[in-house]
């Protein structure tokens, strides 16, 4: 495997007696797109929460570019290039859609880009992102007042404007109109072509098949599969735990 941008070893997290992550090992290769699947409550969001410094882990080692993530500091972690979106995005009060985009762009790896002499990739520029996600008509509205689906789109655009090297997306298409799912997929493919590594938590199997050459499945604290999406049906535990119950769409 090419060098991992993210390396997770023995990651454990319990809430009281409930073990949500029972010792997870996972490597994410630089430049890859990995789908993270699993039934509701299997710990997908908790995995992202622990990796991105929003929730303390109980045990284990998480390395970003070979260097341990020790601090519970999402801001510091995002400045190292690891950015995530939330299942239920919240927006700052009293800022317009365009203002939150510009803030995301400024807070991101602009410094690193300047140091490396790189220019902003044009497809990830603020106005281009707003246009592609059909947010231009609401660009001057308060970000806290747009619809849930629009907030989802805006949170993806904000994350990309931040110019991450590794972006973890928590259910990027949930609550988004089906017509826009193709555009999200195209945008994420373009971001990946420009070097952004992606981890995508998603239930929409068509979306996963279209975007992710590799997927991993969480269930009851363990990773129970790591394969191409088309090979998931060959894993009896996946069929029993996930495809059978949730229904492959
Ligand atoms: P998923 O994203 O796969 O649906 P989550 O990671 O959100 O699953 O949740 C995994 C389990 O951890 C669930 O049973 C959930 O109730 C529990 N959990 C998550 N966060 C907390 C918390 N802050 N306190 C207690 N239990 C939690
Ligand atoms: Mg979740």
Q: What is the pLDDT of residues 11-39, one digit of tens each?
A: 999 999 999 999 999 999 999 999 999 99
Residue ranges in 41-125 assigned as alpha helix (H): 44-51, 74-79, 97-107, 110-116
Mean pLDDT of all residues belonging to the chain: 88
> Is 50 touching ligand 1 by the criterion CB < 6 Å?
no
Residue 64, CB half-sphere, CA atoms under 13 Å: how many?
Answer: 20
Give the residue with greater pLDDT, 216 vs 249: 216
Q: What is the ipTM of this complex?
A: 0.98
> Is 221 touching ligand 1 by the criterion CB < 6 Å?
no
Measured by CA distance, the residue closest to atom 11 of ligand 1 is: 41
Q: Answer yes or no: are the C-beta atoms of 5 and 64 closer than 8 Å.
A: yes
> Is 16 touching ligand 1 by the criterion CB < 6 Å?
no
Q: What is the mean pLDDT of residues 147-156?
A: 92
Strand pairing report for 82-84 and 166-170: parallel
The backbone torsions φ and ψ at residue 238, rounded to the nearest 5 degrees and listed phi first, read -70, -40
Measured by CA distance, the residue closest to atom 22 of ligand 1 is: 15
Ligand 2 (ion): which residues have CB within 5 A?
Answer: 44-45, 87
Residue 140 exposed, middle or buried by CB count within 10 Å (0-12, 13-18, 19+) = exposed
The two tokens of residue 122 are 């044009």
Q: What is the mean pLDDT of residues 129-156?
A: 92
Measured by CA distance, the residue closest to atom 6 of ligand 1 is: 43
Q: What is the pLDDT of residue 128?
A: 84
Q: What is the mean pLDDT of residues 41-63?
A: 96
**What percentage of residues in the chain have a pLDDT greater than 70?**
90
> Is 81 touching ligand 1 by the criterion CB < 6 Å?
no
| pTM passes above 0.95 | no
């Amino acid at each position: 495997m090419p060098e991992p941008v993210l390396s997770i070893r023995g990651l454990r997290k319990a809430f009281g007696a409930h073990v949500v992550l029972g010792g997870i090992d996972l490597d994410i290769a630089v430049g890859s797109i990995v789908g993270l699947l699993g039934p509701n409550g299997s710990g997908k969001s908790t995995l992202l929460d622990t990796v991105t410094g929003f929730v303390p882990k109980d045990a284990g080692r998480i390395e970003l570019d070979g260097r341990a993530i020790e601090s519970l500091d999402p801001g510091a972690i995002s400045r190292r290039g690891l950015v995530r979106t939330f299942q239920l995005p919240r927006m700052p009060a009293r800022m317009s859609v365009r203002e939150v985009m510009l803030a995301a762009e400024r807070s991101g790896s602009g410094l690193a880009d300047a140091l490396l002499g790189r220019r902003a990739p044009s497809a990830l520029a603020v106005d281009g992102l707003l246009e592609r996600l059909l947010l231009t008509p609401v660009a001057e509205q308060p970000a806290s007042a747009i619809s849930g689906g629009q907030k989802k789109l805006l949170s993806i655009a904000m994350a990309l404007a931040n110019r991450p090297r590794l972006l973890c997306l928590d259910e990027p298409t949930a609550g988004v109109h089906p017509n826009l799912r193709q555009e999200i997929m195209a945008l994420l493919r373009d971001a990946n072509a420009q070097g952004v590594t992606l981890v995508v938590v998603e239930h929409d199997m068509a979306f996963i098949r279209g975007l992710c050459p590799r997927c991993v499945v969480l269930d009851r604290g363990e990773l129970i599969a790591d394969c191409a999406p088309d090979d998931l049906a060959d894993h009896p535990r996946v069929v029993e735990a996930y495809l059978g119950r949730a229904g492959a769409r």
